[in-house]
Amino acid sequence: MTEAGTTDGHPADQHDLIRVRGARENNLKGVDVDIRKRRLTVFTGLSGSGKSSLVFDTIAAESQRMINETYSAFVQGFMPSLDRPEVDQLDGLTTAIIVDQERLGANVRSTLGTATDANALLRLLFSRLARPHIGGPQAFSFNTPSVSGSGAVTVRKNAAARAEKRTYTLIGGMCPRCEGMGTVSDLALAELYDDSKSLTDNPFKVPGYSMDGWYGRIFIGSGYFDPDKPIRDYSKRELHDLLYHEPTRIKVEGINVTYEGLIPKITKSMLSKDPESMQPHIRAFVERAVTFQTCPECDGTRLAEPARNSKIEGRSIGDVCAMQITDLARWIAQVDEPSARPLLDSLGHLLDSFVEIGLGYLSLDRPAGTLSGGEAQRTKMVRHLGSSLTDVTYVFDEPTVGLHPHDIQRANDLLLRLRDKGNTVLVVEHKPEVIAIADEIVDLGPHAGAGGGEIVFQGSFDELRASGTLTGRHVDDRAKLKPKVREASGRLEIRGASDHNLKGVDVDIPLGVLTVVTGVAGSGKSSLIHGSLGGRNGVIEIDQGAIKGSRRSNPATYTGALDSIRKTFAKVNGVKPALFSANSEGACPACNGAGMVFTDLGFMATVASRCQECDGKRYQASVLEYRVDGRNIAEVLDLPMIEALEYFSQGEAKTPAAKKILQHLVDVGLGYLTLGQPLTTLSGGERQRLKLASRMGESGGIYVLDEPTSGLHLADVEQLLGLLDRLVDSGKSVIVIEHHQAVMAHADWIIDLGPGAGSDGGQVVFTGSPAALVADRSTLTGKHLAAYVS
């Protein structure tokens, strides 16, 4: 016997498991599971079965919370507060590094280079080697303006004080015209007002600027204009006062107010906001009235003239940031300067990591907000490739999202390399190619939502195949080519498309059929479809953008179904609809309609507890006395979609508007979700399908979907294909950007871009039916699709 009663090895070597006991986060039903450390474990199951709740919300969340608690109370006061997950016991945790699909910050100043510190290294390199020399690294930063100043300072020496004149200058790299944005905005005056009208004729086209409202009364009462004079007859001074007048205190109707010109007022109130957060009518106005164009001074490089003229071997920092990363890596390798060798080696290693992970087709000046979820996730992976850390738990959320079958092997190699360095790798994934490389698979289910939250299988890939679980039955699914494809009813022409890496592409997209646009990541698919079709009349785009919503938002509020439900409750009970809103008059006063009471304990984690007053129902007790067909509003919001559809289809609760929306939600496979489930608890796949359901009722003949299989279990793909077929059969044209071979095989027409990524792509390499693509096999997509259907 050795120390501590063990019989083999050192006692420290016995801690080789992560033990989870009684996990109850979200829909988990007291899950117990042991996960082997230093192995690759893949978690599978339907969307909503509890994978993310177990991996992210329990294991990773508790690891991060415990690490935060090791810091001093002072430091914790500056860190986000993390709640303790609902779990009885968690043993064997190591430091967790989460690599999720959250988009990189969409700040207009953030680029791929700034987000990964590649620009920081380049700025340092140019400050050392570029000629003419213009200053330190800040002289090459488009986020640092040039500043100069002078004045008198008081200097005290030997008990005497005297004034001295001092000047200072800070050389920054920011273009003064566009302030480092790369674009300048311009307001179309014709969209602001009708110049043939006078102020009394209500000339403004800006939402909320009616002459009967307060804004209109300020303009008329300012005294700067003749209210009966048409705007086109204004003098230069009058037009300046209308459009650009600086803020000035005036008295209107006996009240002191601030008068300001129309353009600065609109800029502050509308143009400074995130378009996604605007009301639809205001966003439509902004899209009409504001035009963005490349800055004429810096030509979109964001840089001031000195930074554009300071070069290394004939290239400025703007030139190298615009290069494709594969080309930039080769250029850096050719720079021969012994004094900067460590810097060049660090930069070269970082750029090689981009290429290795499949992002070599991007450029460092690419705005961070334009990266897809998959590209953002792989960007986050870059920093871990050369890490010397071991015994770390890496947590990945579907790392193959946005990857062509040709690229998936590269992602698999990365996961295996991280594991082989002695790390624990936990992956939430649906793709069979990733499931197959796992050391162990944990399958959750048996169904989704309330029907899930249990471990239904744990073992190897071969054992999964024979297990009989939903994942086991579908893991070897292969879609077949359709024996007959639909005939097109027309053509949608794209001519001379040249966005990003597209090389003057001409292509016809057939109408009235299911068209799939495919190609390797970075081949130009999104640039072709979104860049050429976005904004056209009748085109409904459903992209991968995140849903805006707080913990008060739910599917009922997001889709608008709750509006008609409230009206039904109000009509049946003879009261106001506002009573049935948890964000308005009907809200529980103790929790303000949140259902939870959040207690801030200063530097400690915020404690969330169920509201004792309403027991988490969010409404006042008096509101819950009003019923429709035997149910109150809280009970209705607890209904799964499939049951709510039946409830609102008949009897006293019959609500056609809600029924129509609920039917869309069930059609996209969300029938298991409850109406009132907070949006913050939905998985990525659920959020995307919710977005699709909310837009299915819009009038428009062409639907554009961007990788709708993201986050979908193998068993759900068949349901999605049925939905796409129903859309086409109802007379719609459906265009899908997709990598999933089952969707390709089901298409009526395929447009394949390539042949490679970045500068090696941007061309249409095949158009035709899936059968013709399989027979041709001349493209990467053709080869993989042929292997799939065979």
DSSP per residue, 144-171: S--EEEEEEEEEEETTEEEEEEEEEEE-
Residue 565 has pLDDT above 90, yes or no: yes
pLDDT of 419 = 94
Whole-number Å distance between alpha carbons of 241 and 250: 13
pLDDT on residue 277: 56
Greater confidence (267 vs 657) lies with 657
The mean pLDDT value of the chain amounts to 87
Q: Are 715 and 470 in contact (CB under 8 A)?
A: yes
Per-residue pLDDT at 273 = 62
- CA 40 from chain centre, in angstroms, equals 27
What pLDDT, on the 0 to 100 scale, is given for residue 549? 62
From CA 666, how far away is CA 725, in angstroms rounded? 16
What pLDDT score does 30 carry? 95
pLDDT in tens, 55-83: 999 999 999 999 988 988 888 777 766 77
CA distance 146 to 173: 7
In three-state secondary structure terms, 594 is: coil
Cα torsion 771, 774, 776, 782 to 10°: value is 130
* Predicted local confidence at residue 548, as pLDDT: 65
Q: Check: CB of residue 51 under 8 Å from CB of residue 68.
A: no
Q: What is the pLDDT of residue 673?
A: 85
**Residue showing tokens 């001349």:** 778
List CB contacts of 734: < 8 A, sequence separation 6 or more: 513, 514, 515, 702, 703, 705, 724, 727, 728
Measuring CA to CA, which residue among 201, 223, 196 is closest to residue 211? 201
Give residue 608's pLDDT. 67
Report the distance separating Cα 739 and Cα 707, nearest Å: 7
Determine the residue type at 96. A
Q: Give the span between the Cα atoms of 391 and 420, in whole angstroms.
A: 10
At residue 187 the predicted structure's pLDDT band, cuts being 50, 70 and 90, is confident
Least confident of 459-468, 652-661, 709-718: 709-718
- Does residue 141 carry a pLDDT above 60? yes
In this structure, what are the phi and psi dihedrals at residue 329, rounded to the nearest 5 degrees? Answer: -60, -40
For residues 153 and 1, the model is more confident at: 153
Residue type, 591: C
Q: Report percent pLDDT > 90 for the chain.
A: 47
Which pLDDT band holds residue 191 (cuts at 50, 70, 90)?
confident
> Quick check: 374 pLDDT over 50?
yes
Interior angle at CA 285, CA 291 and CA 301, nearest 5? 25
pLDDT for residue 1 is more than 70: no
Amino acid code (one letter) for 163: A
The pLDDT score that the predictor gives to residue 5 is 44
User: Residue 326 pLDDT > 50, yes or no?
Assistant: yes
603: buried, middle or exposed (CB in 10 Å: 19+, 13-18, 0-12)? middle
Instruction: Enumerate residues 6+ apart whose C-beta is below 8 A from 318.
Output: 298, 301, 302, 303, 307, 308, 365
Q: What is the pLDDT of residues 724-747, one digit of tens each?
A: 998 899 899 999 999 999 999 999
The per-residue DSSP string of 561-584 comes to HHHHHHHHHHHHHTS-GGGG-TTT
Confidence bin at 122 (pLDDT 50/70/90): very high
Q: Which residue type, as a one-letter code, is found at position 50?
A: G
Say yes or no to pLDDT of 185 above 70.
yes
For residues 511-524, give the mean pLDDT: 92
pLDDT digits (tens, 9 = 90+) for 401-432: 878 888 888 889 889 999 999 999 999 999 99
More confident residue, 753 or 263: 753
Threshold 0.85, pTM exceeds: no
Contact 382, 350 (CB under 8 A): yes
Cα gap 770→750, rounded to integer Å: 6
pLDDT for 457-479, tens place per residue? 999 999 999 998 999 999 988 88
Provide the pLDDT for residue 2.
Answer: 42
* Better-scored residue on pLDDT, 631 or 184: 631
Q: How confident is the model at residue 276 (pLDDT cuts 50, 70, 90)?
A: low
Beta bridge partners of 389: none
Residue-wise pLDDT tens digits, 579-627: 998 888 889 998 888 888 776 655 454 566 788 888 889 999 999 999 9
